Structure 1
């Protein structure tokens, strides 16, 4: 039998009630990626599923259901090999019965519905599917007025993200409150998970966006790793104050290491995290992070403080502040300040090899401007040595002040004129101070077409110094720089094994002419050679910084 209707309220009520309880989410626990120091908005890292590869879909998945559209506006389709009602009060659908509304499909061996009491049951191989999840249960029952339901022996699999699990039962008290007993969650295979979360019971309060769980255990295989008597977690994007996941560790330098971060949801545009950290060999460290966001600024302030390190018998600390502020459409400012109490701080307290291997800690502050054809900045940089094996002489020069101005403007036709310029004052303890001016005006005439390009450029680079020393106080270098970059682009359709591809061939020629200049008398302040790469074939200088210009 096949019925298609938009006005059958009784059958629509059955579908809506079953769907509401079966689509109730399980407990999915997620933690935000850790940002490096100085990062307010961190990029989402690539997920590594090597421990638990992508699972096959549960065997009752139906392919081809819609993934777009408004479910409430769609017709409800009810199928069953047999339908009967002996008294006009109780209706029964049997034989591969199903109720479908757009992407929502509910199937069972038998559906019953009592019109007066609004009681309904779904028995035998109950299966639910929508665009977000798959779910199976041994049986489901409830009422449509009031809207209550219960399902037993639940298996679920998320479709819009990774995750699956089980629950002994799930109860829907109303449209916004539900509870689950003996629930699990994992991204591994449902029948043999390498790891999973288990909870004795979970209460879901969707009105307030909060979930609560008791007797929570994280297991690897059958081995419990940690246990929490109680945990609360958000169900949507509303933030809430509370403890985050603790961090546990052990090392020869710190002993047993436990950090228990507590998140404070202070306001929609600022928040804080307090992190006490107990290290049995070092003592109790206090840490914190404050984040803020305004109409013109965003930033982070972080600090760590250990009043007395038992190993070194001294105070240890870290301070970080980063800020980005925009004053108007053209001007803004950035600050990235970092400082640690000593050069062994990251070695002693870093939780990863990359942090422990930090050798230089940079700080900078700049006032920046940008228009349609120009960019400018004024500010400074300095570094702190954070590697005890490096001598003071290895510390980079302070660049304070440092000013840059770059411009590129069209003159007529394809002819452009531009300049790249920089002024820097260098200083360092127990070293000579100096000032450097670097100017690189140029003319360029790039011609771009769909199938080819030619980019000739002619410029002159001039670099001069004022050095605080007895002899050769004003060395300088000037050299013309001429280049032509040209290329062709060919493409054609290609068929391989019945699949369509686009094959491209892009020959490119680059000519560079820079006369030789003796630069032995020029100092080296902030210049280094760039590691060779494919892109280096098409650069006019293999050095970064103005102290050296290669000949070619």
Structure 2
């Protein structure tokens, strides 16, 4: 670093005598570390241990009790005024004092008072990263206290994985010890200023007579405040406080929520959050309901060294139970209703973890009636709450999982005795390298299941009739599908068997892949599967008396063994056509030899009732979805794959195939007690044809279709097609369309063709404004309605208000569900309004349409509010009495 006196100062120095100007220059690659004491008073910085004011006062370097941080100065000029005892840094002045940085056009230090005066484009950055700007600042020598004119503060924080910048501004503010900043007539917002018109009011801001930001308490206090939207006052708050934007958890009231319901009346919930300690907290929420009283809710959350857990309690003593249907169709005979919910997740070691997710309710309607959301509730149709506890271990090439399940049916006509209790179900999977000279891979799989059920669950086939059941006393009418109460072979499916069902399954397999000199790929494989069942059907139940012929009462233990050997062959042909891409054609053949499956239809089937034959399982060794069934017999699977990949990202993948039952008993031809295998496309010697076609012009657009064709007539039996497109930046549109059509499965209780379309899209009108929507069309509902009318004039399918529909309900285009939304979002605000219309299907077959408006407003860092309004005025499916 070179220090030079300016020529003017050198020539007139004797005459001037009072002002010394020093021009400071330094090498471009060096870092400026000029101490005013070093330059102007010849006090070595390395030995200066006093505060900044100590070092710059005349007489110099009296040390304080603790070492002070060094001051680093960078400026075009340093000016020392002996008469006024001041030091000035002029021209792009930059001062660093510990973690704080001060930038200004000019900075003057008064050694008499120890005050720092900064003027012109002043910018102060503190240790938290907050940036304070103003026209003029008067600070202490450590930049921690002082007054600021035309103050503007910008602070960057992270909330919910997103970065936000909050801003304070005021004509004048006072900063005290770097801990508290008081803004007189201040404003606060998290919105970015308008780029074209910075003076325009932000989308929202809080204006207050005083804003006090306390860094030690990490709170912001607002006095005499007004909330403005686009410069228009919309709410007045005399006093409130919010946590500092950097705080994620703070004791206080959360945003209230509002309730409007025929059964509950009008109400408001006021949650209070208590941040008891860094590792646990409590949320208490009373909801005051005009028709039912006070609903109390409390949630305890705690994070431990190796995991977390939470417990939520809800309960109410109802003042008007008659608003709900009487039992057994509703909770109208209950005064107290409530629920207990809990979840936990703990890491026992690097490889093991355990936890639970459970829910208990006084009645099946409580969670829905009082709009208590729970992640264990599976769907909006046949609703059930799934409680589970688990233990999971994972190794480099192994997996262990043990779980227990309890299923709580939440539909009106669910019979809890038909719901199983599974405790436990255990899975183990281990892979190792094959021993010499076999090589390849050896895999061991084990599954253990223990299941109990009080009453057998039947389903009638075909399910084609609907009967009216009514009660004038209660004023409700609904259709009820019949179910089997006495088992009849060929007329009833057994979906779940009462009694005890215990099974242990184990399988060891081996496979190895060889590629010969011609490029042919050979994969021999073999496996041995064993199953042991202990079945004790509850023959005391009247429902099981008619099916004891399926089981031998003298034999509780039953076993089966399934050995298999097989070979899979592939021969990929690859051709590179340059700009037209790389084309690959791969014929595939697979042969599996094994004995016939035993005990078909004489064993329970709990986990293998879902069987969909398509391209995904054509080459599976066993096409059943679970362990209760095992595929037997000699079978050949044939197919071919074709793929195109270009340098531009264009991709095509196609496949077609068929399966052949060559010898032994075809496992899919003889249905079990749930008729699994029948109507699957595999029950004949030659299976149906399966195919797949996927076309992706680029990474943003994809089209995929799957189909199954009858092997004799080539009639379309099963078809699925979907288009997924993200067209931005060319068109600000994200969309998807899915179409599905499935033929009737009379032997599985599906008497009608099922067909539907689901479409969804989000269109960005501008970078901030958007519209969204989704539509679900049921294209086969008219088949069911037509059958109901043709099978008796007194068979009606009721609409949600309980009146017989007109013949228009037989239209092929039936809107099953819609979701329309409109909103605005930016860096500080999210506003959305959604209309949701969806059916709710209960076990009785009644479709009830829910129509809801949902308004959501989020002011980033300040809070959010949601308002939900149901338009439905009557319901029976959720246990609420009809409103007249």
TM-score by length of 1: 0.69
5 Å-filtered alignment, 1:21-100, equals 76-80=72-76, 83=79, 85=81, 87=83, 89-99=85-95
Q: 2:406 aligns with which of 382, 406, 413?
A: 382
Report the CA distance between 1:146 and its aligned residue: 8.9
Q: 2:445 aligns with which of 420, 433, 441?
A: 420
Matched with 2:187 is 183
Report the CA distance between 1:344 and its aligned residue: 2.1
Deviations 1:249-297 (A, max 9, x none): 5455544442222233334443322222223333211111122344566
Structure 1 unaligned regions, length at least 5 = 18-71, 491-502
Matched with 1:204 is 213
Q: Distance in 2 between matches of 1:447 and 1:77?
A: 72
Deviations 1:308-363 (A, max 9, x none): 26334632211112234566777664332211222222322226798793811111
Q: Distance in 2 between matches of 1:542 and 1:155?
A: 67
Q: Is the 8 A contact 1:485 1:508 kept in 2?
A: no
State the SS of the aligned residue for 2:191: coil
State the SS of the aligned residue for 1:357: coil
Q: Give the aligned length.
A: 480
Q: Distance in 1 between matches of 2:93 and 2:350?
A: 62
Matched with 1:139 is 136
User: Structure 1's 96 and 282: CA in aligned 2 closer, same or farther, altered over 3 A?
Assistant: same
Q: Is the 8 A contact 2:100 2:143 kept in 1?
A: no
Q: Is the 8 A contact 1:188 1:195 kept in 2?
A: no
Q: Is the 8 A contact 1:360 1:384 kept in 2?
A: yes
Report the CA distance between 1:304 and its aligned residue: 0.8
Q: Distance in 2 between matches of 1:73 and 1:412?
A: 68
Q: Is the 8 A contact 1:132 1:159 kept in 2?
A: yes
Q: Distance in 1 between matches of 2:169 and 2:502?
A: 71
Q: Is the 8 A contact 2:308 2:346 kept in 1?
A: yes
**Aligned: 1:170 with 2:173:** yes
Deviations 1:120-150 (A, max 9, x none): 2222333456894555323222232794222
5 Å-filtered alignment, 1:477-496, equals 478=562, 480=564
5 Å-filtered alignment, 1:343-362, equals 343-350=364-371, 357=380, 359-362=383-386
Q: Distance in 1 between matches of 2:299 and 2:569?
A: 49
Matched with 1:436 is 503
User: Structure 1's 297 and 154: CA in aligned 2 closer, same or farther, altered over 3 A?
Assistant: closer
Q: Is the 8 A contact 1:476 1:522 kept in 2?
A: no
Q: 1:458 aligns with which of 522, 526, 529?
A: 526
State the SS of the aligned residue for 2:145: strand
Report the CA distance between 1:421 and its aligned residue: 1.6
Matched with 1:6 is 33
User: Structure 1's 484 and 85: CA in aligned 2 closer, same or farther, altered over 3 A?
Assistant: farther
**Aligned: 1:409 with 2:411:** no
Q: Distance in 1 between matches of 2:300 and 2:187?
A: 35
Report the CA distance between 1:549 and its aligned residue: 5.5
**Aligned: 1:364 with 2:388:** yes
State the SS of the aligned residue for 2:368: helix
User: Structure 1's 179 and 437: CA in aligned 2 closer, same or farther, altered over 3 A?
Assistant: same
Report the CA distance between 1:215 and its aligned residue: 4.4
Matched with 1:305 is 315
Q: Is the 8 A contact 1:396 1:526 kept in 2?
A: no
State the SS of the aligned residue for 1:412: coil
Q: Is the 8 A contact 2:345 2:356 kept in 1?
A: yes
5 Å-filtered alignment, 1:268-283, equals 268-283=278-293
Q: Is the 8 A contact 1:309 1:316 kept in 2?
A: no
Q: Distance in 2 between matches of 1:456 and 1:102?
A: 71
Report the CA distance between 1:302 and its aligned residue: 1.2
User: Structure 1's 200 and 464: CA in aligned 2 closer, same or farther, altered over 3 A?
Assistant: farther
State the SS of the aligned residue for 1:318: strand
Matched with 1:472 is 550
Q: Distance in 2 between matches of 1:213 and 1:538?
A: 68
Q: Distance in 2 between matches of 1:145 and 1:105?
A: 10
User: Structure 1's 136 and 377: CA in aligned 2 closer, same or farther, altered over 3 A?
Assistant: closer
Q: Is the 8 A contact 1:216 1:231 kept in 2?
A: no
Question: Once structures 1 and 2 are overlaid, which stretch shifts more, 228-237 or 283-292?
Answer: 228-237
Matched with 1:57 is none
Deviations 1:90-137 (A, max 9, x none): 234455544468997644343322122122222233345689455532
Matched with 2:679 is none
Matched with 1:259 is 269
Q: 1:148 aligns with which of 130, 145, 148?
A: 145
User: Structure 1's 376 and 99: CA in aligned 2 closer, same or farther, altered over 3 A?
Assistant: closer
State the SS of the aligned residue for 1:76: strand
Q: Distance in 2 between matches of 1:162 and 1:505?
A: 48
Matched with 2:360 is 339
Matched with 1:44 is none
Structure 2 unaligned regions, length at least 5 = 1-22, 26-30, 40-44, 46-50, 53-67, 158-162, 195-199, 325-333, 457-497, 516-520, 538-546, 552-557, 575-580, 638-884
State the SS of the aligned residue for 2:318: strand
Q: Is the 8 A contact 2:154 2:166 kept in 1?
A: yes
User: Structure 1's 199 and 307: CA in aligned 2 closer, same or farther, altered over 3 A?
Assistant: farther
Q: Is the 8 A contact 2:136 2:149 kept in 1?
A: yes
Matched with 2:421 is 398
Report the CA distance between 1:79 and its aligned residue: 2.1
**Aligned: 1:214 with 2:218:** no
Report the CA distance between 1:298 and its aligned residue: 3.2
Q: RMSD over aligned Cα, in angstroms?
A: 4.9
Q: Distance in 2 between matches of 1:74 and 1:532?
A: 76
User: Structure 1's 179 and 367: CA in aligned 2 closer, same or farther, altered over 3 A?
Assistant: same
Q: 1:525 aligns with which of 600, 606, 620?
A: 606
Q: Is the 8 A contact 2:528 2:561 kept in 1?
A: no
TM-score by length of 2: 0.46
Q: Is the 8 A contact 1:335 1:365 kept in 2?
A: yes
Q: 1:244 aligns with which of 247, 251, 254?
A: 254
